[in-house]
Amino acid sequence: MSDLGELSFFLGMEFMRRGDGIVMHQQKYIGELLEKFEMESCNPLSNPSETNTKIDECSDEEKVDPTVFRQIVGSLRYVCNSRPDICYAVSVISRFMHDPRKSHMIAAKRILRYLKGTLEIGLLFPIGTNSAASTLIGYSDSDWCGDITDRRSTSGYVFKFNNAAISWCTKKQAVTALSSCEAEYIAGTFAACQAIWLNSVMIEIKCEPVKPLILRIDNKSAISLAKNPISHGRSKHIATRFHFIREQVTNGMIEVQYCPTEVQLADGFTKAVKLDRFEFLRRSLGLVVCNSSMN
């Protein structure tokens, strides 16, 4: 074992120490991607996905090279490790890797154009802790019937610890939700599973979070369903495995809290939002410009 000094580069991830904390970014990796896919001279964009636009199979459009498309998607999925702001957009184009069409390639290149304009953005892990920040706080959200092909909803979550985003995900639900309440409830269960796993990992590294773990949802009906087993009229058709969140609430491991949609940080993981909203969520997740210092 040899001491290589302070961490600065690891598996495509770059780390920069500054006055208010450590910033993790992939500026070099993204630059290499732009060069590889001949996008280094492209015009930058301010957001990775077009608002109010849904992408479907586009089976009537011309096909594109599936190998190149899959290479772009695979590379972008790796960039998601430090850039939660592109997580939703990458999730959408990942659904069409089996038969990519022109619209799918345009959407993929739009993400690259966004990265070109935000090359210096990274994820901040701030210095300093306090008792309130040592709580693991999760945000869970869902759209309803957002996929225009099979009408399934998209779940999204993000977890913060010590005011830093440490885990996030966007995933299309495996079942078709019959209401927005059910979609949010399923998304909450998805997030609850991740919260329990994060808790076990943090215990192993001697960084156990304060209990109960906080999960914030912006749907009061879904929260009521998680807290009250009597609400069975609207949930009797929901698969048993999705009641995991109710069990965790009952045993005190997870506390479900309501948060207004305006401060729901997982909102951008389930849909393409307007630019001002997108920029607010990006700041709230802790994404900052690498070379700006707060000394």
Is there a single domain that holds both residue 196 and residue 180?
Answer: yes
H or E element at residue 137:
strand 135-142
Summary mean pLDDT of the chain: 90
* Residue 277, in any domain of the structure: no
Domain count, the chain: 2
Is there a single domain that holds both residue 60 and residue 176?
Answer: no
- pLDDT exceeds 50 at position 188: yes
pLDDT tens track for 231-248 = 556 666 777 778 899 999
Is there a single domain that holds both residue 132 and residue 172?
Answer: yes
Is there a single domain that holds both residue 81 and residue 146?
Answer: no
pLDDT tens track for 8-25 = 888 889 999 988 899 999
Max CA-CA distance within the chain? 62
Is there a single domain that holds both residue 75 and residue 164?
Answer: no
Is there a single domain that holds both residue 240 and residue 181?
Answer: yes
* Residue 205, in any domain of the structure: yes
Percent of the chain whose predicted confidence (pLDDT) is above 90: 69
Is there a single domain that holds both residue 57 and residue 134?
Answer: no
Is there a single domain that holds both residue 133 and residue 111?
Answer: no
* Residue 249, in any domain of the structure: yes
Q: What would the 3-class secondary structure string for 38-66 be? A: CCCCCCCCCCCCCCCCCCCCCCCCCECCH
H or E element at residue 45:
none
Of 71, 88, 123, which residue is a domain's last?
Answer: 123
Is there a single domain that holds both residue 142 and residue 244?
Answer: yes
Is there a single domain that holds both residue 118 and residue 40?
Answer: yes
Q: Roughly what angle, to the nearest 10 degrees, separates helices 102-117 and 87-94?
A: 160
Of the candidates 287, 291, 9, the one whose C-alpha atom is nearest the C-alpha of residue 126 is 287
Percent of the chain whose predicted confidence (pLDDT) is above 70: 94
* Residue 274, in any domain of the structure: no
State both tokens at 244: 């995991």
* Residue 93, in any domain of the structure: yes
Q: pTM score, two decimals?
A: 0.91
Residue pair 14/123 in contact (Cβ under 8 Å)? The answer is no
State both tokens at 186: 């399923």
* Residue 14, in any domain of the structure: no
Is there a single domain that holds both residue 87 and residue 135?
Answer: no
pLDDT tens track for 113-172 = 999 999 999 999 998 755 555 789 999 999 998 888 888 999 999 999 988 999 999 999
Residues spanned by the domain of 104: 22-123
